[in-house]
Homo-oligomer: A and B are copies of this chain.
């Protein structure tokens, strides 16, 4: 008699450079994974064919049949019509109205769920990660840009129309910084890793006596988002100014989101989160002081994401697990 297998899920993280594919169990443990290059310049049919074949191959290689799977979740960059599984547009992979779910089902005859990658990461942290067990969470990712996702009642909140929940694109200051979206002074223009690096370069250039100038090896092009934190930690006043300002910008964005969504928890993702308490401790202090009605109402805790490199696969699979 054949051993009765628990149903598994397939999580696919579609990126600009590579596609990560994982087999995930019901506790969101990754059983097996593989990755293939995206080569996004090709017709989308070829990209999706490779994706589907690689996933089918991964299943087979690990002794699973299609019937052993509950479904496939795909996290995609850009704006997604999740109801129809269509990637409406993505600058990252240059897709325009690509019927990802329908196309992928040619290779994987399973339910396919597609959502924006940051939305998936948000949901993923609520099924396994920093927000596990939380029904309501705001997830903010601090990277090249500032993205995010919102989980309400255990499901991804998508707003009324595709293009909503652009958490990095709320106005947060008034220094006249042009955001990548074209508007002035969005959170992204202050709280992305890119913004912090820009600020650090400027500071190092103007203050050659700063430790920043040493940390980047006197080459501004080598500046990264960790260096201001390292300089501040080592007592460099210029590093401290950068870190304090960065945290204040971020704190204001987080406070806005707490006042709007009042979630159980606020989860920060992206490389800057390696700073841990150095980041979350002052953010939580600011939120406790500035959140609307903080004296009488629930103030969410700010924490760092836990799914790390697995966030893409777990997040995509969580679309299946919570469907």
Beta-carbon nearest neighbor of A157 in chain B:
B152
> 1/0 per position for A241-267, CB-CB distance to B under 8 A?
000000000001001101111111000
Select A162's contact among B172, B181, B264, B297, beta carbons within 8 Å: B297
**A102-133 interface (Cβ within 8 A of B):** none
Beta-carbon nearest neighbor of A170 in chain B:
B256
A173–B174 alpha-carbon span in the complex (Å):
6
Q: Are B172 and A171 in contact (CB under 8 A)?
A: yes
**A68-121 interface (Cβ within 8 A of B):** 79, 88-89
Q: Are A171 and B171 in contact (CB under 8 A)?
A: yes
**A144-203 interface (Cβ within 8 A of B):** 152, 157, 159-167, 169-175, 181-183
**A135 contacts B by Cβ under 8 Å:** yes
**A284 contacts B by Cβ under 8 Å:** no
Residues of B within 8 A of A261 (CB): 159-160, 164-165
Residue among A171, A172, A297 having the largest count of chain B Cβ atoms under 10 Å? A171
A143–B88 alpha-carbon span in the complex (Å):
39
A263–B300 alpha-carbon span in the complex (Å):
25
Q: Are B79 and A161 in contact (CB under 8 A)?
A: no
Residues of B within 8 A of A175 (CB): 174
Identify which of A13-21, A32-40, A288-296 touches chain B.
A288-296
Q: Are A170 and B259 in contact (CB under 8 A)?
A: yes
Q: Are B292 and A162 in contact (CB under 8 A)?
A: no
Q: Are B163 and A136 in contact (CB under 8 A)?
A: no
Q: Are A166 and B292 in contact (CB under 8 A)?
A: yes
A165–B261 alpha-carbon span in the complex (Å):
6
Select A165's contact among B136, B165, B260, B289, beta carbons within 8 Å: B260
Q: Known contacts being A79-B293, A181-B293, A259-B166, is A136 close to B152, with CB within 8 Å?
A: no
Q: Are A169 and B298 in contact (CB under 8 A)?
A: no
A297–B181 alpha-carbon span in the complex (Å):
13
A310–B137 alpha-carbon span in the complex (Å):
36
Q: Are B160 and A263 in contact (CB under 8 A)?
A: yes
Q: Are B79 and A297 in contact (CB under 8 A)?
A: yes
Q: Are B262 and A160 in contact (CB under 8 A)?
A: yes
Q: Known contacts being A162-B298, A163-B262, A297-B161, is A170 close to B173, with CB within 8 Å?
A: no
User: Which positions in A face B, CB cutoff 8 Å?
Assistant: 79, 88-89, 135-137, 152, 157, 159-167, 169-175, 181-183, 252, 255-256, 258-264, 289-290, 292-293, 296-298, 300
Interface contacts beyond A136-B161, A165-B261, A165-B262: sample of 6 additional A-B pairs, CB < 8 Å, sorted by A: A79-B293, A152-B159, A163-B296, A166-B260, A169-B256, A182-B290
Q: List 19 A-B contacts (CB under 8 A).
A: A79-B296, A79-B297, A135-B160, A152-B159, A159-B263, A160-B262, A161-B297, A161-B298, A162-B297, A163-B262, A163-B297, A164-B260, A166-B260, A169-B256, A171-B173, A173-B174, A181-B292, A183-B290, A260-B260
